Amino acid sequence: MAGLYMKMTPIRLSGEGAGGTAALGAVRKTAYCDMHTPGLFDEANVTAAEVKALLKDKMRRARKILAERRHAAPVVSIPVIPEHR
């Protein structure tokens, strides 16, 4: 699964805040997936096929790391009580 990106936009309240400025009291949160994140790949002029290839490579590397962790022997600590106790 691809990662999500969060865009947080401040919302102005109808009342006036201190100093005559509008008070910021809330935030609108909008979540985007990798393919639909605004401005992420706009500057580089990247096509959708290139974005898919980049994400596929990213997922391949993540799966490789997880497979290495899965096959590694777990570290187990066994408490030992000395015989003289």
pLDDT of 1: 43
End-to-end CA distance of the chain: 54
pTM for the whole structure = 0.41
> Which are the contacts of 46, defined by CB distance < 8 A and separation ≥ 6?
54
pLDDT of 26: 80
CA 72 to CA 40: how far, in whole Å? 36
pLDDT tens digits, one per residue of 27-82 = 888 777 766 666 656 566 777 788 788 889 999 999 999 999 888 888 888 889 88
